[in-house]
Every structure is written in C-alpha cells, then in structure tokens.
Structure 1
Amino acid sequence: MEQLTTLDAGFLQAEDSDRHASLAIGALVVLEGPVPDYASLVSTLAARISGCRRFAQKLQAHPLDLAPPEWVDDPDFDMAHHIGRIALPHPGGDAELFRVVADQMARRLDRDRPLWHIWVIEGLADDRWAMLIQVHQCVGDGIATSHLFTGLCDESGAGEGVSSFTGHLRGGDENNSAPVQFGLHAVSLNPVSWAAELWHVSTAIGAAAVRAARGTVELSAGLLRPGGSTSLNGPMSALRRYSSAAVSLDDVNRICRAFDVTVNDVALAALTEAYRGVLDRRGERPVAQTLRTLVPVSTRAQDASGHTDNRVSLMLPLLPVEEDNPVRRLHLVHARLRRTKGTGQRQAGSALVTATNHLPFPLTAWAVRLLTRLPQHSVTTVATNVPGPSLPLHILGRRVLEILPVPPIALQLRTGVAMLSYTDNLFFGILADYDTMPDIDEFARSIEAAVARLVVSAKRRKTSKSRRSRQPLIGAG
C-alpha cells in the first residue's frame, strides 16, 4: 500500500477545514457531435481507464491520523458510480453549460470511492457535446491530470507523444524508487516555525542552500504580511460560478516577440488587468499590495510526465494591479516574476515540503487543520498554467474542440484561474464563489480584451521599429 505524502494529505485536510470547499481539479472537454451511443462511450472509457490503477483505488484513513491515508484497491469498484449523464436545458449554450460545471465543482467527490468522476453532458447547441472530468487534487497536479485525459483519447487522433494509459501512465506504486520534491498549498498550510528543519534539509543540497534560505524568507514574508483588503478574500458560500476565456496563441506569441516576455507573462498581465477592472467596478482602489497571487511551478521531470502525483512548488508574486498602462503592466509582471524566480522561492517551497515529509504525520495533520481554519489576508488568488496538447485530439472519432480547465478554490481564495493551451488557443478557466463574482463573464471578456490591447501595442511597436530602420542615417549619401 502507498501512503499519501504530506502535500497530498494536506489537500484533504484543507478540504475538511471548510465545509464549502471542494478540492477537485476539473477539465471541461467540448467535442463535435453527434454524441456517441452512451453504452459504447462508457465501455470505451472503462477500457481506457482500466490501464491506470489509481482510478480503481480509494483512500484508507487511519484512526487519529497516526499515519497518512493509503491508496488501496477498491473491492467494490464499479464504473457506473463514476460516469454520469446530464442533459442541458434549452437552449444549451455556454451559460447553461457553465452553470452545470459550477454546480458539479461545488460538490465534493465521494471519499468512500476512487476520487474521480466523468459527466457526459448532452444537449449542447451547434451539434456539440461535452465531458466534465473531475479528479481530486490529492491524486495529481494539473500536468498529471492532463495526461490522464489524453489517455482517454483515441490513439490515432491523439497525435505524437500521446498513448493509452497502459503504455503511458503508471500507478503511483511504480515510482517510489526516486525521491520526490513537493510544494504548493502545503507550504502555506504548515507552520513557518519549521524553518529550522528546512535549514537542515536545504544545507544538504550544497550551493542551493543559500538561495533556498532566501526564498524561505520571501515566502514567509509573503504569507504573513497582510495584503490589501478586498472583496476577493473571505469565507465562501456553497455555490460557484464558472466562465472561460480564449485567446489565440499566435497573438500571444506576437506579444512575446515584440516585448521579449514569456507566454506566462502575457497571461498573468491579462489576468491582472481583468482583476483591476473588477476592483474598479466595485469602487475598491487597487494598490500595490492587493494582488499577491499563488503561482504554482512544476518540478516534474520530463521522464515523470505520466505519473499520477503532485510535483509542484510555488511563487507568490505581487501582480501590478495598481498600474493602468497595459504595456508597463506587462513589463512589471515580467520583472516581478523574474525577481521572484531569482529569490529561490521555488527551491524553498520544494525543500520545505520535503522537510515536512520527515516530521511525524500526526503533527503535520494537526498543524494543517489548525492553520486552514484561520483567516488569511495575504494571498488573494491562485493562477496556474498547464501546457496542453498541441495537436488535435479525438474521442471515439469525435474531434475535441476545446479543453477548458477548472481550478479548485479553497483557503478563503474566492477566485481561481487555470490556463491551458490546446492546439492554436490558450484557454482560461475561472471558478469563483457565487456571491463574490456575479460579473464573472465580464471578467472573462476582460482577459480577452487585455490580450487584444497588447496585440495592438505589439503591432505599433513593430511598425515603429520598421520605420526607424528605413530612415537614412544623418549625413549618409
């Protein structure tokens, strides 16, 4: 039997600390019609899922948290418990589809069974149908979940580098030979007083020790220093809202070339502008400390892309929501992310959680439950970026049109945004507390508008450079 790591168990404990939290990762997959025969679809999905052992395992907890929960085979496993069917009300547009997504993501997965579910959604307009795939965060991170999805796809339509579960994904029990570094929520859930233990662990990694120690100071300060008070933090209700945005990767790459930034910089700059608009509409003045954002960073090696687990660290940059100029905002995002990477926050996150794995589990379980019940005002939101398939995918011969990510929200972070690339587009999935963001669709459109403004600026910059290059030198001729 394989035990959960401190990080994986921390997701369960964070969920237990808030009766309105549900820590499942979602992917909304929109496909061309017609909808396949339901029995054939279920049997095909069942055959492909059978190659991943984790999907037939459930958690076995120990009394009083004397040891971490363990993955055990479910003797009563039945696919019928994990694949459901939903028909959208007329007219079957995005509003009706997103309402179903929000309702299902607000509900917790049943811990008495394997922690995943697939909803087949029919009645979508324009001869389309959809699947909502839910996997609990303790099973794996966004990259692992993305590979789980590709395992459901037709091999002939999946393109190079995508194969079945049997050939590409291995159960968690096969990767115990190599040590794993973990991060993300566990860093914010465990006491900062464990810095002494971190020091002993980090000094063992040679030259990286000083950088990790400096990153620990940065993370601790970010988690302990209150940010600007806004309506984006606070207790959540039992209901959710969901929306999405899509931008062209060609446009994003044009911006990257014009301003010498990364795709992640562009995405976060657009997200920053959208949050600025939310605060402006509510009469809340955006200041420099307002938008401290939890940005997960993958620590997954290339040869571990198919393992079902969490392999992430984090950064806590302050996104420049106070800046009103789009181009200056983009450069500030780039500079702040570069600085954050340089302080060693990523290394500190991995080292800290490695240290917690050596502490007695009852202690870490108690600390997580205590800290996740306390109000926090330092981090405002979470934004995660996962690379998706670059080639078109198919399921039972039906082409996948869109893959819209759905992030979980917890720890009094009332909004979360996940970004995922698929073929020619970058998709943003936004999940929010129902009462916190009634303007969620306007928020999504603001992301698209922000990228469009940066495209215009990139074109102007290119035109200006071209004109300068054609001007004759003074005195030439």
Structure 2
Amino acid sequence: MAARVHKGSVKDPAVKERGAKERAVKDRAKRIRASRREPMAKVDTAWLRMDQPTNPMMITGVLMFAEPMSVADLRRVIRQRWLAYRRFQQKAVDTAAGAFWQTDNDLDLDWHVQLTALPGRGGKRALERFVSQLASTPLDTGRPLWQFHLVERYDGGSALIARIHHSYADGIALVQVLLSLTDTTREPAKGSDLQQAWLKQDGADVARRVGAAERYMKLGTRVVEKGMEMYRDPTLAAVLAKEGGEIGRELLHAVTLPDDPPSLLRGKLGVSKRVAWAEPLDLEEVKAVGRACECTVNDVLMATAAGALRQYMMERGDHVDGMTLRATVPVNLRPLEHAKKLGNHFGLVFLELPVGEDNPIRRVERVAESMNNLKNSRQAIVSYGLLAALGMAPTAVQGLALDLFSRKATVVATNVPGPPQTLYMAGCALREMMFWVPQTGSIGVGISILSYNGRVHFGLIADAKLIPDPDSVIQRFGSEFEKLLYLSLMSNWDARLDGPSADALLPEDTRRVIEFIAG
C-alpha cells in the first residue's frame, strides 16, 4: 500500500515546488544585489581618472617576513580578511554618466594572489627591481584593481608585494587595511582586537576637519568651474578671495604659487619606475634629535630627506645653493579608527624642502617652520574640496588643474605612523615594511616614511628618466641622519639646538669628521 503524503509535509510535491521557487527568487535577488552598481565617491572618481601611463595611480607596498609563508596560507588570509571588505570584491567602472563600483561575480583569487620567484640569488636588489617592474605596470581594469605577489623565499623568509589602486582608498587607510591582515601574536586568541593594540585614537580634531572639508566642497566646485580662467587672468582671483573669505585666500595662495624651480628632479616622464628602500633608523634616536631641536619626529625625517636629495643633486652637478623645493604631503582628514571604511579622505599641503641649505640643523628649523605654518592653515581641507570637485569636472579641466598643481611641487612625500610592536601574518613575523604612493601629473619623485616596531623605514620611488639609480639617494638617508644625531649629542643638552649653535659646532675640521663618520 502506497505511503500517504500529508499536505504541508516536506514530501508534499507542492511544498517542494514552493520551496524551490522561494530559493530561486532569493538567489535571483542575491545576484541582482551583487551586480548592482554603486556610485563612486567624487574624490575617489578623481583618483580613478588621474591614471596616466607615466604615473599609474597605484599604492605599492612591500612586507618582509622573518619566516617563509606559503601561497595557500596567504590566499586563506586574503579570502577571510581582505575580501571581508566588500569593496575589494568590486571593480571600478567609469562611464560618461559617472564612475561606479560593481561586484565582480567572476573574481579569480588565483590571479589576484600570485606566487613568484626572484632571479639569481634573490637578494635586495633583485626584489627592488621586481617591485620597480610592478610599480610601472598598470592593473587590469577589467578586474578589481588590486593584486598581491608572494616571493615565497626571500632573505630567510618571504616578501609580499601589494598593489592597490588609489581609487579604493588613500595610503593611510590602505596601510590600516593591510595591517588588519595581521595579528599581534603568532597564534592569536579568538576575538583578539588588533586595532586596540596599537591604533592611535585621534577622532575629535580630525572629525571637525572632515565636517569643514565637506562644507568647502561646494567652493571647490566653483573653483573648478572658474579656476582655469583665474589662472589665465590672476586679477579674477580677487573675486574668489572676496567670496570665500579665509578659504578663498587659501585657494588663491595655492593657485598663485610659483612653479617649483627647474632641477634634475623635474623633466619629461617615462613609463618606468625605480624603487629602493634604506636601512631603517632607530625611532628613539630620531626622537632624541627632535627633543634637542624642539621639533617633531616628522620635521626631523623630512629634513633628513631634504639633505639626502641635496647631496644627490650636488653630486650630479645641480646648482642647489639657496634652492627650495616643495613636496605635496597628504594630511589625514578622518579619525584613524574610521580608516577601514575606505575611500579617500585626505587633503594635500605644500611643504618646503630647503635643499639649498648647507647647515643640517637649519634645514630642520626651516622644515619645522613650514610645517607649523601649514598646521595653522586650511590648505588640506581646501585641496580635499578641490579634489572632490575635480571628480565631477570634464576630463579636459581635470588635466589642466592637475598640470597646474603638479608644477608647483617636485616630490610627493608621505609619513605614516605604524604599530610599535611586532605583527604576524599567517603565523609569520612581519620584519619590515614599506610602501609608496603614486605621483600625480608631472611629479616624478616620491618619498615614503613608515615607522614600525621602533624603527623608521625610508622608501623612494622615482621616474627612471629622472633618477635611474635610486639607491644613490636612499643610501644618503642614513648618513644625513647621522649628521643630525652627531650634532645633537655634541650640543648643550640644557638648551635648544638651533642653527647658530650648529654653526659653532661645525668648523671646517668638525665638518670633515662628521662627513667621515656619516660615510
């Protein structure tokens, strides 16, 4: 006798059919949500459209581990943590109607996370050449704009190269996201909070700057509409100053800044990049110099960079006496604890690099003075509003504005504070790390500074036509800092070390001793 089927039971054909239809509807809704386009923020759109063959808009990072890491372990971390950010499952789509984020339903993790090997013995030079090649190669626009390359065996451990397009987020945010792939112990306890272990809390002041930046976005739009006209006829800029008050004056200052002087660090760009990184400095020693000069760690490091560029330029015949170059420096405009929300939330300021100054301590003083002036200005939020406006502007206007501002600086410089203790990824200790942000327009040199685990890491990226030998610059960072440290130790510890004090410590014979010690 056939079994009786009760209506409503799981064996009821009508119930099974209804359940299948419901699952089909849910699957279809899921596919629709996955393929739905999400408008891209205006500032992110601006960075997407800044891509040029001479300057791909990629942030490139290198992480070096003390132990070998397998590509299987790396892919597991990327799958679990990186792809937990929905944005990294999306590709950028730029259309005449605007730019969008769209989920890539065919995301190929094997393509995004690749295993590679270095030629020969695979030392530091080989890794630098490989990173240079990757930094020169644009990402595939048909896929999500990020990629990881694992060198499974490097210097007793492994090296990981990350490339992420600037449209996803700014360098500060991406460093935080990369570090979210790590743990504070080799075998982390379930539920451990990496953020609380080291992330600086700076929300209140930065949040106020974000609110101001949003208000000034409308003014930035007006600048884009009228800015090129003002540039051609500076008398019209007075209108902007009158309409915008303090913000208008900041924009007027930016628009009317003279171009940076000609030097071997400026010129027609090619399509090849060169990268290099220096032996790290001891952070406590950098702090000691800062205390002696009564300035910040950032002031000391940027003055060190100015000294390294000065020596390189002089050796190659550039006349640098009295010369001042500018660096565009990103300023974070959001609390760091919000960085994982991605997107670009930073402004740019023009920092003076006194490469024409012979006295190392006077270089520190001049950098500190320039930085203090910038802290009291609204240049960062003005530039943020301008970038947002550029995201809406026609391509021709974007190009003109980019050319205008990139001619006013020679270097892009970044300084990101990292965690003070050792981190681990997939159980491997992170030994060193470095990253480089892209240059914009006609700028062909980038300097990156990152502190990690009590040490400061310097990196340089440059157009191969301008600096074909970046190691010749990088090796001078250490020697320039040694000069500052020597003078700090020789000075009167009960008084601030200033320019005149350094002059007294720098008779010709002492200069020769410092040069010898510094190599």
TM-score, length basis structure 2: 0.76
Q: CA deviation at 1:451?
A: 1.3
Summarize the alignment of residues 300-319 of structure 1 with structure 2, pairs less than 5 Å apart.
300-319=334-353
- Aligned equivalents of 1:85, 1:420: Cα separation in 2: 26
**Number of matched pairs:** 433
Is 1:270 aligned to 2:304, yes or no? yes
Change (3 A) 1:351 1:372: closer
Match of 2:483 in 1: 453
Between the two proteins, what is the percent identity of the paired residues? 25
Change (3 A) 1:249 1:298: same
Instruction: Tell me which of 346, 352, 377 is aligned to 2:386.
Output: 352
Instruction: Tell me which of 398, 404, 414 is aligned to 1:384.
Output: 414
C-alpha contact 2:43 2:388 (8 A) present in aligned 1: no
Is 1:244 aligned to 2:277, yes or no? yes
Change (3 A) 1:316 1:94: same
Greater mean deviation of Cα atoms: 404-413 or 87-96: 404-413
- Aligned equivalents of 2:304, 2:65: Cα separation in 1: 27
Summarize the alignment of residues 50-449 of structure 1 with structure 2, pairs less than 5 Å apart.
50-62=83-95, 65-66=96-97, 68-125=98-155, 127-154=156-183, 156-157=185-186, 162=194, 181=213, 190=224, 192-193=227-228, 210-222=245-257, 225-245=258-278, 246-288=280-322, 290-353=324-387, 361=392, 363-372=393-402, 377-449=407-479
- Aligned equivalents of 2:427, 2:111: Cα separation in 1: 25
Q: Provide, for residues 424-477 of structure 1, a one-character-per-residue CA deviation record: whole Å limited to 9, x for no partner.
A: 1111111111222133112112111111111111112245759xxxxxxxxxxx
- Aligned equivalents of 1:289, 1:217: Cα separation in 2: 24
Code of the residue aligned with 1:322 in structure 2: it is: G
- Aligned equivalents of 1:263, 1:145: Cα separation in 2: 22
Greater percentage in helix: 2
Is 1:8 aligned to 2:41, yes or no? no
Greater mean deviation of Cα atoms: 258-267 or 407-416: 407-416
- Aligned equivalents of 2:245, 2:300: Cα separation in 1: 31
Q: For residue 50 of structure 2, give the secondary structure of its aligned residue in structure 1.
A: helix
C-alpha contact 2:241 2:248 (8 A) present in aligned 1: no
Code of the residue aligned with 2:417 in structure 1: it is: P
C-alpha contact 1:181 1:311 (8 A) present in aligned 2: no
C-alpha contact 1:92 1:124 (8 A) present in aligned 2: yes
C-alpha contact 2:42 2:389 (8 A) present in aligned 1: no
Q: CA RMSD in A?
A: 3.1
C-alpha contact 2:228 2:401 (8 A) present in aligned 1: no
Change (3 A) 1:24 1:376: closer
Is 1:47 aligned to 2:77, yes or no? no
- Aligned equivalents of 1:219, 1:301: Cα separation in 2: 26
Q: CA deviation at 1:218?
A: 2.0
- Aligned equivalents of 2:161, 2:60: Cα separation in 1: 7
Match of 1:168 in 2: none
Q: CA deviation at 1:118?
A: 0.4
Change (3 A) 1:139 1:30: same
Q: CA deviation at 1:388?
A: 1.3
Q: Provide, for residues 332-359 of structure 1, a one-character-per-residue CA deviation record: whole Å limited to 9, x for no partner.
A: 11011112332332232234345556xx
Q: For residue 21 of structure 1, give the secondary structure of its aligned residue in structure 2.
A: coil
- Aligned equivalents of 2:193, 2:491: Cα separation in 1: 37
Code of the residue aligned with 1:394 in structure 2: it is: Y
C-alpha contact 2:69 2:152 (8 A) present in aligned 1: no
Change (3 A) 1:202 1:350: farther
Change (3 A) 1:465 1:356: closer
Code of the residue aligned with 1:423 in structure 2: it is: N
- Aligned equivalents of 1:394, 1:81: Cα separation in 2: 24
Higher RCO (Cα < 8 Å, 6 or more apart): 1
- Aligned equivalents of 1:442, 1:342: Cα separation in 2: 36
Code of the residue aligned with 1:252 in structure 2: it is: V
C-alpha contact 1:288 1:318 (8 A) present in aligned 2: no
- Aligned equivalents of 1:243, 1:97: Cα separation in 2: 9
Code of the residue aligned with 2:38 in structure 1: it is: E
Q: For residue 420 of structure 2, give the secondary structure of its aligned residue in structure 1.
A: coil
Change (3 A) 1:325 1:200: closer
Change (3 A) 1:336 1:44: closer
Change (3 A) 1:59 1:450: same
Change (3 A) 1:71 1:436: same
Q: CA deviation at 1:53?
A: 0.6
Code of the residue aligned with 2:459 in structure 1: it is: G
C-alpha contact 1:90 1:123 (8 A) present in aligned 2: no
Instruction: Tell me which of 69, 73, 78 is aligned to 1:36.
Output: 69
Greater mean deviation of Cα atoms: 227-236 or 341-350: 341-350
- Aligned equivalents of 2:167, 2:184: Cα separation in 1: 27
C-alpha contact 1:297 1:314 (8 A) present in aligned 2: yes
Q: For residue 29 of structure 1, give the secondary structure of its aligned residue in structure 2.
A: strand
C-alpha contact 1:375 1:412 (8 A) present in aligned 2: no
Code of the residue aligned with 2:44 in structure 1: it is: D
Q: CA deviation at 1:240?
A: 1.6
Change (3 A) 1:148 1:459: same
Change (3 A) 1:202 1:267: farther
C-alpha contact 1:58 1:111 (8 A) present in aligned 2: yes
Q: For residue 69 of structure 1, give the secondary structure of its aligned residue in structure 2.
A: strand
**Structure 2 gap segments, 5+ residues each:** 1-36, 197-209, 231-235, 497-519
C-alpha contact 1:88 1:97 (8 A) present in aligned 2: yes
